[in-house]
Homo-oligomer: A and B are copies of this chain.
Amino acid sequence: MTLGDYLPFWNKLTEKQRERLSSKSNKIRFQKGMLVHGESDECSGFLLVTEGQLRVFTISDEGRELTLYRLFERDICLFSGSCMVKNIQFDVTVEAEQDTAVFQIPADVYRDLMEESAVISNFTNELMASRFSDVMWLMDQVMNKKMDGRLAAFLLEECRLNETKELSITHEQIARHLGTAREVVTRLLRLFQGENLVKITRGTVELLDENGLEVLAAHSLR
């Protein structure tokens, strides 16, 4: 697969623009767990995921993490190149949750193209609108769902992503996704275990009753 196979606007570019994109972009691999883009990093550019899985999250001043969204094959990480769009006044951190490969387009290359091409600029608009929608969904969750429902939804999503019913994940890691304290996760998981929804062992959470968790996720209004 080449860069052109992943960019929906490829056919609308001029020959010169395509050449510039192809010659300037790099293929980069990240091992599972590696930092892809740090908060204080220089602008890492536009990242197009060709395989694997990225987690995009914020870190508060107090070190508390909150997962904003995940990126999968064919998704694009825009905010690793926040310098490409004026007025982005927040930082995100990106890490590889699986072994991941990306095409990286340097920020200045993409920005120049955006400035000369309405097609690319409008594509960027749609991309930002998708991420904005993700964050607005999360805001609704955070404001209006109780933590038990958010935890249930998180466990179900993790199992779906990893195609397993037994997650290798610590309470600390779950807390980082949900932006809460480890103690809260531990307390809720014990509650879930008491209700035969999950079985906890050291470092794993096994889902026993997916339907029960679905119900909890759907009916957890705050």
Interface residues of A (CB under 8 A from B): 58, 60-62, 64, 66, 85-90, 114-118, 120-122, 124-133, 135-140, 142-144, 179, 221
Contacts and interface: CB of A to CB of B under 8 A. Distances in A.
B132 A128 contact: yes
A61 B118 contact: no
A120 B117 CA distance: 11
Contact of A122 (B66, B115, B144, B179): B115
Contact of A124 (B88, B125, B221): B125
Q: How many copies does the complex hold?
A: 2
12 contacts: A60-B144, A66-B139, A86-B126, A87-B133, A88-B133, A89-B130, A89-B136, A89-B137, A115-B122, A138-B139, A142-B142, A143-B179
Contacts of A129: 85-88, 128
Contacts of A116: 118
Given A116-B118, A118-B121, A143-B179, A85 B135 contact: no
A221 B130 CA distance: 30
A118 to B, nearest CB: 4
Contacts of A115: 118, 122
A117 B221 CA distance: 44
A142 B88 CA distance: 19
Contact of A143 (B64, B85, B118, B132): B64
Contacts of A122: 114-115, 121
Given A121-B121, A143-B142, A90 B136 contact: yes
A124 to B, nearest CB: 6
B125 A121 contact: yes
Given A61-B221, A89-B133, 8 more contacts: A58-B136, A60-B144, A64-B143, A85-B129, A87-B126, A89-B130, A90-B132, A139-B139
